[in-house]
Structure 1
Amino acid sequence: MPANDLALLIDAARKAAETALAYVGGPLDVRNKPADDTPVTAADLAVNAVLHDMLRDARPDYGWLSEESEADPGRHTARRTFVVDPIDGTRAFIEGQRAWAHALAVVEDGAVIAAVVHLPVMDKLYAAARGGGARLNGKPISVGRVDAPARADVLATRPSMEAHHWPGGVPPVTRSYRPSLAYRLSLVAEGRFDAMFTFRPTWEWDIAAGSLLLSEAGARVTDRRGGRLSFNAAHPQADGVLAANPDLHAALLDRLI
Structure 2
Amino acid sequence: MSETALPIMPSWDEDLELILAAAVAAGDTALGYFRRAVGVRWKNEGRSPVSEADLAANDVLKARLLAARPGYGWLSEETDDDETRLSRDTVFVVDPIDGTRAFIAGKEQWCVSVAVVQHGRPVAGVLFAPALGEVFQATCDSEARKNGAAIAVRDPEPGETLKIAMAGDLVDKLTFPYRESIARVSHVPSLAYRLAMIADGRIDGTIVKRNSHDWDLAAGDLILARAGGALRSLDGLPLSYNRPIVTHGILGAASGSALSALLAASRPLEGH
Q: TM-score range by the shorter chain?
A: over 0.9
Distance in 2 between residues matched to 1:118 and 1:171, nearest whole Å: 34
Residue number in structure 2 paired with 1:136: 146
Find the partner of 1:196 among 202, 206, 223: 206
Q: Would you say 1:256 and 2:236 are equivalent positions?
A: no
CA contact (8 A) 2:35 2:104 kept: no
Distance in 1 between residues matched to 2:180 and 2:239, nearest whole Å: 23
Residue number in structure 2 paired with 1:172: 181
CA contact (8 A) 2:110 2:189 kept: yes
How far apart are 1:168 and its partner, in Å?
A: 7.5
Residue number in structure 2 paired with 1:79: 89
Q: Note the alpha carbon deviations across 1:103-134, whole angstroms, 9 max, x for none.
A: 11010001100000110010000000001010
Distance in 2 between residues matched to 1:169 and 1:89, nearest whole Å: 29
Aligned counterparts, 1:4-43, within 5 A? 4-35=14-45, 37-43=47-53
One-letter code aligned to 1:175:
R
**Long gaps (5+) in structure 2:** 1-9, 268-272
How far apart are 1:146 and its partner, in Å?
A: 1.9
Q: Which has the larger radius of gyration?
A: 2
One-letter code aligned to 1:214:
L
In the superposition, relative to structure 1, how do residues 25 and 249 fare at CA in structure 2: closer, same or farther (>3 Å)? Answer: closer
CA contact (8 A) 1:168 1:256 kept: no
How far apart are 1:256 and its partner, in Å?
A: 2.7
One-letter code aligned to 2:25:
K
CA contact (8 A) 1:147 1:245 kept: no
One-letter code aligned to 1:188:
I
One-letter code aligned to 2:250:
G
Distance in 2 between residues matched to 1:237 and 1:57, nearest whole Å: 27
Aligned counterparts, 1:1-257, within 5 A? 4-35=14-45, 37-146=47-156, 151-163=161-173, 165-166=174-175, 170-176=179-185, 177-257=187-267
How far apart are 1:150 and its partner, in Å?
A: 5.3
CA contact (8 A) 1:198 1:224 kept: no
Q: Note the alpha carbon deviations across 1:51-100, whole angstroms, 9 max, x for none.
A: 11111001000000000100112210111000000000101000111101
- How large is the Cα RMSD of the aligned pairs? 1.9
TM-score, with structure 1 as normaliser: 0.94
Q: Note the alpha carbon deviations across 1:135-159, whole angstroms, 9 max, x for none.
A: 0001000011126575101111212
In the superposition, relative to structure 1, how do residues 174 and 148 fare at CA in structure 2: closer, same or farther (>3 Å)? Answer: farther
Distance in 1 between residues matched to 2:36 and 2:179, nearest whole Å: 44
**Long gaps (5+) in structure 1:** none
State the identity %: 37
One-letter code aligned to 2:83:
P
- Which secondary structure state, in structure 2, belongs to the residue aligned with residue 99 of structure 1? coil
How far apart are 1:15 and its partner, in Å?
A: 0.3
- Which secondary structure state, in structure 2, belongs to the residue aligned with residue 121 of structure 1? coil
TM-score, with structure 2 as normaliser: 0.89
